[in-house]
Structure 1
Amino acid sequence: MLDHCSISHKGGIVLWSRSFTPAAAQAAASSSSPVNSLIREALIEGRTAEDKYEKDGYAVKWSFVNDLELIFVVAYQRILQLTYIDELLATLKNIFVKLFEPFLATFLASLHAATSGSAIIASGQSAASWNFAKAFENWDAVFDRILHGLESKAAQDRKARYKPVQISIEPSPPSDDMSTIPSQSAETTVDEEQIARNVQALKNRLRGKGARGGRRGPGRSDIGSGRESLPGSDSDTPVKRKTKTKTQRKWGEQAPTESDMASLDFSYEKPGDADANRGSLDLNALVDRDSLGTRTQNGMYEVKDWEFGLKDSAADDMISKALMSSQTSKPTSSSGSLGALGSLFARLTGSKVLTEDDLKPVLEGMKQHLMKKNVAKEIADKVCEGVGESLVGKKVGGFQTINAAVRLALSNSLTRILTPKTSTDLLLSIRTKLSAPLPSSQQRMPYSITFVGVNGVGKSTNLSKVCFWLIQNGLRVLIAACDTFRSGAVEQLRVHVRNLSMLGVNGATDSKGRVELYERGYGKDAAGIAKEAIAYARDHDFDVVLIDTAGRMQDNEPLMRALAKLVATNNPDKIIFVGEALVGNEAVDQLTKFDRALRDFSAASGGVGKQRGIDGMLVTKWDTVDDKTYTDLRQLRVSNVVQAILSD
């Protein structure tokens, strides 16, 4: 059963709507309705290639009529499996356009004729003079017939699928051999006695577990002493159970002495070690001058952008040459993907309205090009579907116009997908929080960032690079060692803190006091350590807390629940997923499942943070796997990535 259906203009004007339940009508009227959330979070962001959108227990599906700028939306309970939704949307589109196309064309022309004010204000003023209820007064009856027909068809299909199968079994002929009839005399009695003994033995074992002080009543098994009775035996004869003993491991002929153990303990720095390390450690090995970022006019330290090897203008020239190569009389000899796309564009000549058949070969070639650029197949499919949905029904003329329209649609689709929902300008977010006014009785909370990811991707190392960048911007940083599982994780961070404390704001002067490590050893609750670290940073005037977590696989539910508990308990300002470039498209699966698990489990864990997902991604091992310095941190700009993907 449907909950809501509506037909709207892309500018936000609702032409017709129907709610099927009072709860759906109330939800549709609120600003947080699934349809309004769909418009804000999916359509405006360009996520039009997804199969459906889910919000607050509702599943929402939609479809476009681009030439009339219409959106058809259907909402229903997510738990229901309605198989006719896609067919319903397609039927509604076809019949609605056929019945009311003249009216819709006139209405659309009036909106485009508005020249004063913003588009939204102009649309609202124009829509006020249109009587949609009168124009579509016959549509309710048509809609009911369409919906009733599809629901009846779906019901018949379900009955056909679940129709019981009649199986006939021929009875076997009677036999004169009485030996085949089972006897219920001796064997049945033995089985009952055996079951009774087993039950009694199990009760004895359970009572034995609750015994205290080694006292055992009659019939109880000797569980506490390593002896127990075998269930089903006629007697409670105790059976001796072997116990394992652990012997001390010796390295060499003799056990190490206390002095030997002290010399082998590198967990903590000993008095005088800091000065010795300062003299023996080459600070130039920790900072690469060529990789240092730049200072802005206001003194902010910005890391370098990642350069793909082509300037924007050079990439544009290459794209233009590849796309225009199909116009020559001779076929192009280039095997580049965009050259092939150019030849596909060339077949779309003349002024016409683009159809799915026109765009199908173009979109297929576009998908192949994206996959050659190592774009995941699922992402390539969504990009091409989004491009197709934005172009079907558009009227274009000539090769140049079609060429430009497809290129622009592809560039816009990639840009929308790569553009994050939240700000990735960490410095702006940090300074905004630190400078916000507070009541005199309230202490300022530090800005907290949690680093998550699978095992071995380099969370601790790249956390230290981010720490160096923050120190360069004059911030005091506290690193919370919340990886209490991996051996050496705390010691690794201690070494990074020691190195970073020797590097100053400009990469050479002393920065001791700008970075500290908060750790409580191993085997502790990571969520509790993070909470203590944030409180410690608040009381000691630290600006930022960087929370290091243990690596875990995305499919390990218990570990993902533990991570969600840390997030729900501490509500960090940012959650950064650390993934390595070496795994390729596997990173898409890792990121997706991390985000989904955090959102699902953080809501169930309670705490101050609810429905938290991944806010950003830090890609490691981008160009190499050898040793790098603290300055090897690059910013990945969306425009540069789009240009690299579009280049041949």
Structure 2
Amino acid sequence: MLDHFTIFTRNGLVMWSKSFTPALTNQSNSSSHPVNALIKQAFLEQRTSEAKFDKDGYTLRWTFANEIELVFVVVYQRILQLSYIDELLETVKNLFTELFTPIAKLLKETSSTSPSKSLSSFTLTARNEFQAALKEWETIFIQTLRSLERAAAQNKRKGLGGVLGEKRQPSAVQAAAAASEAEKRASSGQDSPTLNKADTKDSNDIAKSMEALKNRLKAEGGPGGRKVSRAKKGNNASGSAGNSAPGTPGGHGSGTESPGGKKGKPAKEMRKWDGSGNFSAGDVSSLDFSGSGGKDAVESNGLDSWVDKRSMGQKRADGVYEVADVFEEEGEDDEDDEDDEGTQKARGKGSSSSFLSRFSTASASGSSLFSLSRLTGSKVLTKEDLTPALSAMQSHLQSKNVATDVAIRLCDSVERNLVGKNLGSFGSIKAEVKKALEEAITRILTPKSSTDILLEIATKRQRSAAAASLALATSAREKELASKPDPYSICFVGVNGVGKSTNLAKVCFWLLQNQKRVLIAACDTFRSGAVEQLRVHVRNLGQLRVEGVAVEDQKGMIELYERGYGKDAAGIAKDAIAYAKNEGFDVVLIDTAGRMQDNEPLMRALAKLVAVNRPDKIIFVGEALVGNEAVDQITKFDGAMKDFSGVSNPRGLDGSLLTKWDTVDDKVGTALTTTSSTGLPIYFLGTGQTYTDLRQLRVHHVVNALLRD
């Protein structure tokens, strides 16, 4: 009654798989396969808190063999209630690791640099032997599966439910062990425990198959034996034992850093306030911010309060203007988490220690096993070993503004990745937990698709130009319209008061600096002053100097499209896009009214705007201040875009922009919460009130802030 079972390495190499239905057999290499969805959403994006995943009518369950970095996944119809799945996974894991641990360890070593070449170091003979061994393994798997299915059916007939009965049928491994013990007792003349005939036959078959495969691997040297060692020196033929599953995207985000290795916020001079009332002309001038003479003002063609050159981005060699990175706070804790107790005391009683240090102290007082922070000897991690660290880790993440369910999901992921892992001779639980947590956070925050909006704008213009050359136009007007490319449209949505209009203006400034003509569509026809606010932004942005553009050519680079209040927002956006195409604008920025995620009528109106105009990018604008509320906001906005659209292929959110980032210090958990809840990337961060206060997120900045005390 299974549909699929697969075994693959953590870096994406499929060692063995078996499909029992044509539907999954035909799409074994397709991106729509349920296992591929599992890898993307559960393993890479960490969006499930239990070892169970539903996709397209299927349920997927899995387990890890962390010592050799293997994943065992079973797929079956969601409607079925199979009581033996957990036992099947555990049994297959034990049998497979018993047989193929040497080859799995060798694959782990050789594939660490290049998974696609992990088997190329094997000789052709070794690969053929491995394929033959896998065919024999398939026989063992089928025998184990049939044994468990029969045992479950027998228990069901007896009314035991398959899992709750006291006289539950023994598993295949238990039956095989019992049969082996019975043979030993019989040979020594002792009485043996009684097994029914079906269990004895199943266990004997499995035991014989296992013994035969063991003898074969031992006699032939096996893929992990001497033949493989010689293969590393030569005779490298191409080939693969299985299909390659999607790998794990690695690496932190990269950014420009100072030669010292850190980038800190520029120091701000303190102002001197004197209550005596004796001010010189220079003092008055330094405190006058109405013009360009103030000490802290920045020259920008008369708009000193709207542009701060200290927070400006940089021009790349190809002329592209990039917004600045998020600055790392000075004094970042780069100390090794392996500080001993004396070092912690030296920091002072009032200083806060990291969650890993708190775990070390708590575990030392609660169990003699962890009286020392570093374990020596070979130690296999268990759930009990990790419980103190995971509890402290969850509390630490929540203190950093990470939503509760996201923190729990992360802890469960770390636990699954570490249970059963061998620490080695000098392994440390603290180091392993920190490493696993850092990898999990990095996987969540790393964008799964391109976030280069400028590239998408250029690509759309090229496609529009190519389509126009093939279009058949009858009239001169149609030919003129066909020759003009479609503008790139970005729609900003979010709850009330998060700063959509202000940050839309910041994005507009970024586009203007990249010499794009921008039309702002005032589609917030409800809030009083919304149109006037955009009008002020357009007036100010229109007076800013754009580097590389002549002053006379700057006129018309930005314009506001408005139709007043009380009108249909979807119609205004549609007319604005048509106007932008006719006038040759590159980008249309659509401002929408703020609305609460639970207000269904307003969410339906927003979904209508999206469905009618099909913007190229839908960006959710949220606050970096919120914690648990972020999950509710972004998931309901994304759901409303799809549920209320009324079209067959609905659009959801494409990414997010987090505002008020400068107010959260190192409590940056909202970035992790929003990305983990939907898997959507973070395009920008708002950090202030000027047009230059827009930042781009670097993954390692968030990771460092979350792990920092």
Give the TM-score taking structure 2 as reference length. 0.65
Equivalent in the alignment of 1:325? 340
- Deviation, 1:102, is 2.9
Equivalent in the alignment of 2:657? 618
Q: 1:6·1:73 contact (CA, 8 Å) conserved in 2?
A: yes
In 2, distance between residues paired with 1:449 and 1:299? 23
Q: Call closer, same or farther: CA 1:35–1:528 in 2, change over 3 Å.
A: same
In 2, distance between residues paired with 1:347 and 1:431? 55
Establish whether residue 418 from structure 1 lines up as the match of residue 457 from structure 2: no
In 1, distance between residues paired with 2:613 and 2:303? 35
SS at match of 1:617: strand
In 1, distance between residues paired with 2:39 and 2:504? 36
In 2, distance between residues paired with 1:628 and 1:377? 31
Q: Call closer, same or farther: CA 1:42–1:612 in 2, change over 3 Å.
A: farther
SS at match of 1:623: helix
Structure 1, residues 282-334: CA drift from partner, whole Å, max 9, x if none?
Answer: 522222333333333333322222224236xx4322xx1x5313476979845
One-letter identity of the residue aligned with 1:494: R
From 267, 287, 300, give the equivalent of 2:320. Answer: 300
In 2, distance between residues paired with 1:354 and 1:25? 37
Q: Call closer, same or farther: CA 1:563–1:488 in 2, change over 3 Å.
A: same
In 2, distance between residues paired with 1:117 and 1:630? 44
Query: Which runs of no fewer than 5 residues in structure 1 stay unpaired?
Result: 162-280
- Deviation, 1:362, is 1.3
Establish whether residue 647 from structure 1 lines up as the match of residue 667 from structure 2: no
Please list, as runs of the form range in 1=range in 2, the aligned pairs for 1:400-439 lying within 5 A after superposition. 401-435=428-462, 438-439=466-467
One-letter identity of the residue aligned with 1:39: I
From 591, 606, 615, give the equivalent of 1:572. Answer: 615
Q: 2:687·2:693 contact (CA, 8 Å) conserved in 1?
A: no
- Deviation, 1:480, is 1.4
Establish whether residue 522 from structure 1 lines up as the match of residue 550 from structure 2: no
Establish whether residue 383 from structure 1 lines up as the match of residue 379 from structure 2: no
Q: Call closer, same or farther: CA 1:557–1:6 in 2, change over 3 Å.
A: farther
- Deviation, 1:399, is 5.4
In 2, distance between residues paired with 1:52 and 1:525? 44
Establish whether residue 357 from structure 1 lines up as the match of residue 359 from structure 2: no
Equivalent in the alignment of 1:605? 647
Q: Call closer, same or farther: CA 1:326–1:117 in 2, change over 3 Å.
A: closer
Please list, as runs of the form range in 1=range in 2, the aligned pairs for 1:98-497 lying within 5 A after superposition. 98-112=94-108, 114=110, 118-123=114-119, 129-131=130-132, 132-147=134-149, 149=151, 283-310=303-330, 314-317=332-335, 320=336, 322-326=337-341, 333=349, 334-336=351-353, 337-343=355-361, 346-347=372-373, 349-350=375-376, 351-397=378-424, 401-435=428-462, 438-439=466-467, 440=469, 441=471, 443-497=484-538
Query: Which runs of no fewer than 5 residues in structure 2 stay unpaired?
Result: 165-300, 364-369, 472-481, 664-685
Equivalent in the alignment of 2:188? none
In 2, distance between residues paired with 1:48 and 1:122? 30
SS at match of 1:478: strand
In 2, distance between residues paired with 1:578 and 1:520? 24
Equivalent in the alignment of 2:14? 13
Structure 1, residues 500-534: CA drift from partner, whole Å, max 9, x if none?
Answer: 22223159968431111122333433333323222
Structure 1, residues 456-503: CA drift from partner, whole Å, max 9, x if none?
Answer: 211112111111121122111011122233333223222221222222
Q: 1:294·1:304 contact (CA, 8 Å) conserved in 2?
A: yes
Q: 2:68·2:108 contact (CA, 8 Å) conserved in 1?
A: no
Q: Call closer, same or farther: CA 1:304–1:152 in 2, change over 3 Å.
A: farther
- Deviation, 1:100, is 3.8
Q: Call closer, same or farther: CA 1:123–1:633 in 2, change over 3 Å.
A: same
Q: Call closer, same or farther: CA 1:63–1:593 in 2, change over 3 Å.
A: farther
One-letter identity of the residue aligned with 1:618: L
Q: Call closer, same or farther: CA 1:3–1:433 in 2, change over 3 Å.
A: same
In 1, distance between residues paired with 2:688 and 2:29? 58
Establish whether residue 501 from structure 1 lines up as the match of residue 542 from structure 2: yes
SS at match of 2:584: coil
- Deviation, 1:88, is 4.1
Structure 1, residues 89-144: CA drift from partner, whole Å, max 9, x if none?
Answer: 43123222333433221331453475899422434877653232322313223223
Q: 1:449·1:573 contact (CA, 8 Å) conserved in 2?
A: yes
From 609, 629, 632, give the equivalent of 2:693. Answer: 632
Equivalent in the alignment of 1:191? none
Q: 2:523·2:572 contact (CA, 8 Å) conserved in 1?
A: yes
Structure number, greater radius of gyration? 1
Establish whether residue 581 from structure 1 lines up as the match of residue 624 from structure 2: yes
SS at match of 1:316: coil
Structure 1, residues 349-402: CA drift from partner, whole Å, max 9, x if none?
Answer: 113222222112111111122122222211211222222222222222355554
In 1, distance between residues paired with 2:447 and 2:620? 13
SS at match of 1:456: coil
SS at match of 1:395: coil
Q: Call closer, same or farther: CA 1:115–1:56 in 2, change over 3 Å.
A: closer
- Deviation, 1:435, is 4.8
Equivalent in the alignment of 2:58? 58
In 1, distance between residues paired with 2:574 and 2:534? 18
- Deviation, 1:35, is 1.8
Establish whether residue 43 from structure 1 lines up as the match of residue 43 from structure 2: yes
Moved more, 50-59 or 479-488: 50-59
SS at match of 1:522: coil
SS at match of 2:689: coil
In 1, distance between residues paired with 2:345 and 2:153? 56
How many residues are aligned here?
515
Q: 1:323·1:342 contact (CA, 8 Å) conserved in 2?
A: no
Q: 2:6·2:14 contact (CA, 8 Å) conserved in 1?
A: no
Equivalent in the alignment of 2:597? 554
In 2, distance between residues paired with 1:582 and 1:118? 41
Moved more, 553-562 or 409-418: 553-562
Q: Call closer, same or farther: CA 1:290–1:501 in 2, change over 3 Å.
A: same
- Deviation, 1:545, is 1.0
Q: Call closer, same or farther: CA 1:307–1:329 in 2, change over 3 Å.
A: closer
Moved more, 408-417 or 625-634: 625-634
One-letter identity of the residue aligned with 2:61: K
Q: Call closer, same or farther: CA 1:594–1:60 in 2, change over 3 Å.
A: farther
Q: 1:47·1:386 contact (CA, 8 Å) conserved in 2?
A: no
